[in-house]
Amino acid sequence: MKTNACAILSGVVAFVSSQLLLQWQYPWSTYYGSYPYGRGVTLASYLLVSLVLALITAGTTVFLFRASKIPILARALLCGLAVFLISMLWAISMGPMGLDVPGLRLRGIFFCEFEFLRFTFMVAAPVSCIAAAVCWWLARTRSGAASA
């Protein structure tokens, strides 16, 4: 499997898993029904967070797949660690540092007050573990190795 195909696959897995985790931690019924924002704004906020996590995962996968001198297991662990650290930095910049996307509710739903900690540990951490597992599996099947 080529590097771009692996990146797309890891990004899709990260997108789907982050959507499931976001719905678990930030239920749609709470954040759509209780606030005066429209369905489109709320939906775009959920999709943008998942898209950013998918892009972080795909970019990390591409970067680490090009580092072929590193053993497969080390690449997978670095992938998970990099996804977690980049996601954590993004959450800190959106939360305590006050960045926001105009017209959406990213900061209001996912990063306000101490919500960025819930995002970091209940969404970004599991996504990074899933990214590490997918990266390991992809690197292993790509190289044809029987064991890592």
Each residue's pLDDT tens digit, 1-46: 788 899 999 999 999 999 999 999 988 877 776 667 778 888 899 9
The tokens describing 116, both together, are 């960025």
Q: Which amino acid is at 104?
A: L
The per-type count for the chain, helices as H runs and strands as E runs, is 7, 0
Q: What is the pLDDT of residue 144?
A: 66
Question: N- to C-terminal Cα distance for the chain?
Answer: 18
Each residue's pLDDT tens digit, 83-99: 999 999 999 999 889 88
pTM of structure = 0.90
Cβ(66)–Cβ(124) under 8 Å? no
**Average pLDDT estimate for 62-70:** 87
Phi-psi region of 144 (alpha: psi -120 to 50; beta: other; left: phi over 0): left
Instruction: Give the span between the Cα atoms of 147 and 16, in whole angstroms.
Output: 27
